[in-house]
Amino acid sequence: MKVASPDTNDRHRVVLYVTSSTDLEALLESAEAGTLTHALVSLFHLGYDDENNKTGPYVHLGDHRPSDPRFDELWATVKTVQGYGTKVMASLGGAGVGDYGNLFAAYDVFYPLLCDALESYDLDGLDTDTEESGITTGNIQQLIGDLRRSFAGRAGGFLLSSAPVASALTDGGSVSSGVDYHRLLEQFDWYNLQFYGWGSLPSGSSSPPPNYTPNYEAVVAATGSANVSKLVAGVLTNPDDGNGYVSLSELRPVLSALAGRYADFGGVMGWNYGNALGPAGTVDPAGWAAAMAASLQAS
């Protein structure tokens, strides 16, 4: 049996995907205040400088190599944030890019490049956002196993999370239909479940599978209550980021109720840091993280 590495935070997770490389003062503020437990640097991509001829393989952060000077502020901030106890991980993938297709078609090329990037910036783990067809459960199991072995000796451990849509756990719709997230749950440290567009925390259904619009309770029922600590409720932080935004005034009591019902509730994830709306309705990432932490503690 593959044993996941420990998640050392002893409180409900508050997770933010970070797609910004500048204006990171709020990230520092949240880390120092202890309201943000995990930051996921997003999004890493795997590809070729010459896609047609498959030459010049690269790891990119967004559209540029992680070593590009434009990321100097980001990597300096990562070090400081980690010093406050916030775990900082990379997130690989995203919608329709083909990163995992490239990885598994030329694994001996891209896996070492990925490991090198994770080591170079001393990242605390990897989040797999597999949103493409043709990827199998076996592919992801191979990646998990290799990463566990490659980073087994890392001081502070190495975390692995994944970002399936919520309905993938209730036999509803999925954006990576070849991946069985039930089989993988034991091997990941947690799931950043996307409840936006593929479920709803306040208005989704708790009916049994197949459930295409599940709420949190439906996912718990489908996966087993023993896995609650691995189920992080993912939400949008701004209505401009997609369908299914839930305002803080509606979201906060839902989260408090879940944290009250489940002592080991996995926590909350937000996409994304850069335009996160705080309690006043203005862009305020630190306010968003503080509001989430307070909601989880209120229970």
Q: What is the mean pLDDT of residues 76-92?
A: 98
At residue 68 the predicted structure's pLDDT band, cuts being 50, 70 and 90, is very high
At residue 15 the predicted structure's pLDDT band, cuts being 50, 70 and 90, is very high
Q: For residue range 187-207, list pLDDT tens digits in order.
A: 999 999 999 999 999 999 999
Q: What is the mean pLDDT of residues 66-77?
A: 98
**């209550």: which residue's tokens?**
225
* Whether pLDDT at 9 is above 70: no
| pLDDT mean across residues, the chain | 95
pLDDT of residue 1: 32
CA distance 280 to 217: 29
* Whether pLDDT at 298 is above 80: no
pLDDT of residue 289: 98
Q: What is the mean pLDDT of residues 269-276?
A: 97
Q: For residue range 155-177, list pLDDT tens digits in order.
A: 999 999 999 999 999 999 999 99
Amino acid (one-letter) located at 50: D
pLDDT of residue 131: 94
* Whether pLDDT at 2 is above 50: no
At residue 7 the predicted structure's pLDDT band, cuts being 50, 70 and 90, is low
Domains annotated for the chain, with CATH where assigned, are 13-298 (3.20.20.80)
pTM: 0.95
